[in-house]
Structure 1
Amino acid sequence: MVQFCGPTSISILGNQLEKPFSIEEIAGQLNMASSTFHRHFKKATNMSPLQYLKRLRLHEAQKLMLTEGFNSGRACAAVGYESISQFNREYKRLFGAPPRKDIIKHKVNV
């Protein structure tokens, strides 16, 4: 198996936070077919590249809100979401609370 899911593919995905996502583009950078990249990535991480990228984006948004004082709209845009409502839904799904409540909870616990 190609050692694709190490630092190379993870750093490529990490550099995609604010950009539109394209499996074809990333697979091409790794000299792989899209289906091969997707299959190997899912086997190595137990999630699809899109799921992984969403998780990276949401964690980065949370970090920006906690450390830089971004509001949810600014954090949403900074990590590449086009829809604040989609961002809020996915944030709540991952962290268990909407962005504002989650950030308040973290700040109270610090």
Structure 2
Amino acid sequence: MAPRCSSGVRYRSATTTSAPASSAVTSQVRLQHARLLLATCPQDVTAVAHRVGYDSPSRFSREYRRQYGLPPSRDAARLQPAAS
């Protein structure tokens, strides 16, 4: 006969497999803030990366591209309103 799990164990294993890791949530929030900054006030991508908490601009660019499908500089150009 197979051992039975208590409901606490089942609940704990279900939440660890379905809930995103806190580092993933932090990353997502940072990237959302970066995208807002890039769209509303033209800045250097490196400055935005540092402002939202990334020490490495290359890591920021890599994660940004993974999240939004474009590198931050191209996405910023696409998001900013056209100059008159």
Distance between the aligned counterparts of 1:81 and 1:47, measured in 2? 20
Cα distance, 1:54 vs structure 2: 0.2
Can you list the C-alpha shifts for 1:43-88, whole angstroms capped at 9, x where unaligned?
A: 6x83111000000001101111111222211100001100000000
Can you list the C-alpha shifts for 1:2-61, whole angstroms capped at 9, x where unaligned?
A: xxxxxxxxxxxxxxxxxxxxxxxxxxxxxxxxxxxxx7xx66x83111000000001101
Structure 2 unaligned regions, length at least 5: 1-11
Identity percentage of aligned residues: 29
Structure 1 unaligned regions, length at least 5: 1-38
When normalised by structure 1's length, the TM-score is: 0.55
4+ runs of 1 displaced by more than 6 Å? Answer: none
Equivalent in 62, 69, 72 of residue 45 of structure 2: 72
Equivalent in 70, 74, 77 of residue 101 of structure 1: 74
Does 1 or 2 have the higher relative contact order (CA < 8 Å, sep 6+)? 2
Write the mapping of 1:1-110 to structure 2, written as runs, cut at 5 A.
46-107=19-80
When normalised by structure 2's length, the TM-score is: 0.70
Q: Residue 75 of structure 1 aligns to a residue in which SS?
A: helix
What number of residue pairs does the alignment pair up?
68
Distance between the aligned counterparts of 1:78 and 1:70, measured in 2? 11
Q: Residue 43 of structure 2 aligns to a residue in which SS?
A: coil
CA RMSD of aligned residues (A): 2.1
